[in-house]
């Protein structure tokens, strides 16, 4: 870690100003920019306290908090809104929302060689155009340090903070600033998962911090009021209000289609990434992420129930999914009628890769998977979310329907062979 005096608060404010005017640093990376790994897990920025623990050894029961005075969010009384409702919620949660400043490695290209047009005494249009195509200059990649900022929020009193993976990707130094007293804390990365764009970092607080309870994103309804808090465009601790515009949205970016997002018209801008999306009970229902840079009134958030699924992987620092080697898709109504099925619940196997755990377990093409780990497959979105939490070495149990008969299949997932291509349109993507 670098000496903390170098990143004192006055410098942090200067960084924020530079980000606002778009000079000298970026507000935050996009998920696509952060996909290339330039800082490995051996770097000092990674906290290695859980590296020898398996997911089965983790008890998440008390790792995050819940509101204890209610049983089910769907049974709660509606919140009466007045002119102070949003202010009361903001005051109760803002001390748990943090600003995250990072020094990170960036890959850039330096052109080595001579620009042939600079050798001409004056610009000759036809000749200059031809010379532009001549490869006199060769781009050579190199790494440099850049500054960026984002948001996050405290989830327990030990100082664990949730944010987006792209906010802290390739960081070599992370500083966290709380809203109260603007005090700065160094942070380390516990785990980072680029597939779900989530990350867990930790500070060592010298006080008892306020934390945000987790809600139930599945219980959200279209049209429900939510608040987004964060650090948009360098403006510290801002809050915006809006609605849940839609649920189960697929990202417009092909590589991010494993997570179904919440869509909201609450303003989420670069710098807001990693901040919490809050319901009117003061619970986190999502992690804000700026997917579409030019969007207006179209914001996205990672559902908090997705975060709950991948939390075990974040804690142990695992980012590789287990591979099963089968591709399957939901059953259409036409296929259900053709196969004389009672419903279209379940998945139909489209292919089984040679030598894969799926083939070894006896799975065949056109088999119908009706249960996953003893739970019926009646919601494809929830099923995909469950796959996000599967690491190599974990065992899965499937109930298979084949030619009118059912039987059980048990298989242990392995690391995906590097030569095997991944089909992004199948159910097995997150765990294949």
Q: Looking at the predicted structure, is the pLDDT value of residue 168 above 90?
A: yes
Q: Looking at the predicted structure, is the pLDDT value of residue 399 above 80?
A: yes
Please give the residue that has the higher pLDDT: either 427 or 276: 276
Please tell me the least confidently modeled range out of 225-234, 254-263, 371-380, 422-431.
422-431
pLDDT band at 5 (very low <50, low <70, confident <90, very high): very low
The residue from 193, 197, 256, 367 that is catalytic is: 197
Residues contacting residue 390 through CB under 8 Å, at least 6 positions apart: 321, 322, 396, 413, 430, 431
Please give the residue that has the higher pLDDT: either 69 or 61: 61
Query: With b meaning 16 or more CB within 10 Å and e meaning fewer, what string describes 202-226?
Result: bbeeeeebbbbbbbbbbebeeebbb
pLDDT band at 11 (very low <50, low <70, confident <90, very high): very low
Residues contacting residue 421 through CB under 8 Å, at least 6 positions apart: none
Q: Looking at the predicted structure, is the pLDDT value of residue 195 above 60?
A: yes
Percent of the chain with pLDDT over 70: 73
Q: Looking at residue 139, what is its pLDDT?
A: 56
Does residue 273 carry a catalytic annotation? yes
Q: Looking at the predicted structure, is the pLDDT value of residue 74 above 80?
A: no
Q: Looking at the predicted structure, is the pLDDT value of residue 364 above 60?
A: yes
The residue from 73, 166, 241, 367 that is catalytic is: 166
Q: In the predicted model, what is the mean pLDDT of residues 128-141?
A: 54
pLDDT band at 27 (very low <50, low <70, confident <90, very high): low
Please tell me the least confidently modeled range out of 184-198, 281-295, 298-312, 352-366.
281-295
Q: Looking at residue 424, what is its pLDDT?
A: 36
Q: Looking at residue 144, what is its pLDDT?
A: 59
Q: Looking at the predicted structure, is the pLDDT value of residue 106 above 90?
A: no
Q: Does residue 169 contact residue 107 with C-beta atoms inside 8 Å?
A: no
pTM of the model: 0.81
302 secondary structure, DSSP code: E
Q: Looking at residue 302, what is its pLDDT?
A: 94
Q: What is the residue extent of each domain of the chain?
A: 322-415
The residue from 26, 241, 266, 273 that is catalytic is: 273
Does residue 3 carry a catalytic annotation? no
Q: Looking at the predicted structure, is the pLDDT value of residue 250 above 90?
A: no
CA distances from 254 to 265, 291, 387 (A): 22, 12, 18
Q: In the predicted model, what is the mean pLDDT of residues 309-314?
A: 94
Considering the chain, what is the average pLDDT of its residues?
Answer: 80
> Candidates 2.30.42.10, 3.40.50.10190, 3.40.50.10540, 1.10.357.10; correct CATH number of 322-415?
2.30.42.10
């Amino acid at each position: 870690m670098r000496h903390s005096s170098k990143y004192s608060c006055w410098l942090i404010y200067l960084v924020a100003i530079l980000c606002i005017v778009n000079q000298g640093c970026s507000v935050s990376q996009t998920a696509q920019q952060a996909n290339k790994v330039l800082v490995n897990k051996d770097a000092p920025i990674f906290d290695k306290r859980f590296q020898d623990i398996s997911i089965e050894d983790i008890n998440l029961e008390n790792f995050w908090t819940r509101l204890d005075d209610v049983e089910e969010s769907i049974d709660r009384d509606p919140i009466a809104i007045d002119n102070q409702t949003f202010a009361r919620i903001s005051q109760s949660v803002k001390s748990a929302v943090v600003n995250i400043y990072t020094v990170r490695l960036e890959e850039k290209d330096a052109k080595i060689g001579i620009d042939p047009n600079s050798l001409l005494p004056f610009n000759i249009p036809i000749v200059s155009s031809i010379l532009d195509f001549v490869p006199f200059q060769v781009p050579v990649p190199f790494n440099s340090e850049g500054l960026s900022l984002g948001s996050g929020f405290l989830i327990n009193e030990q100082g664990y903070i949730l944010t987006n993976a792209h906010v802290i990707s390739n960081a070599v130094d992370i500083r966290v600033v709380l809203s109260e007293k603007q005090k700065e804390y160094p942070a380390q990365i516990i785990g980072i998962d680029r597939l779900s764009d989530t990350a867990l970092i930790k500070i060592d607080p010298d006080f008892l911090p306020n934390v945000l309870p987790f809600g139930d994103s599945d219980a959200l309804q279209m049209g429900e009021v939510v608040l987004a808090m964060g650090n948009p465009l360098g403006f510290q601790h801002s809050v915006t209000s809006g609605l849940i515009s839609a649920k189960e949205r697929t990202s417009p970016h092909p590589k991010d289609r494993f997570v179904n997002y919440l869509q909201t018209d609450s303003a989420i801008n670069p710098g807001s990434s990693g901040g919490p999306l809050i319901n009117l009970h003061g619970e986190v229902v999502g992690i804000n992420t700026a997917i579409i840079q030019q969007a207006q009134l179209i914001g996205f958030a990672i559902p908090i129930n997705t975060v709950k699924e991948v939390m075990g992987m974040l804690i142990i620092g695992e980012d590789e999914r287990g591979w099963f080697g089968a591709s399957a898709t939901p059953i259409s109504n036409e296929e259900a009628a053709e196969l004389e099925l009672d419903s279209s619940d379940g998945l139909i196997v489209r292919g089984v890769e040679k030598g894969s755990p799926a083939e070894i377990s006896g799975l065949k093409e056109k088999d119908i998977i009706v249960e996953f780990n003893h739970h019926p497959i009646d919601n494809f979105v929830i099923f995909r979310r469950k796959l996000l939490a599967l690491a190599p070495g974990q065992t899965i149990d499937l109930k298979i329907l084949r030619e009118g008969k059912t039987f059980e299949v048990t298989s242990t997932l392995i690391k995906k062979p590097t030569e095997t291509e991944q089909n992004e349109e199948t159910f097995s993507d997150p765990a294949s």
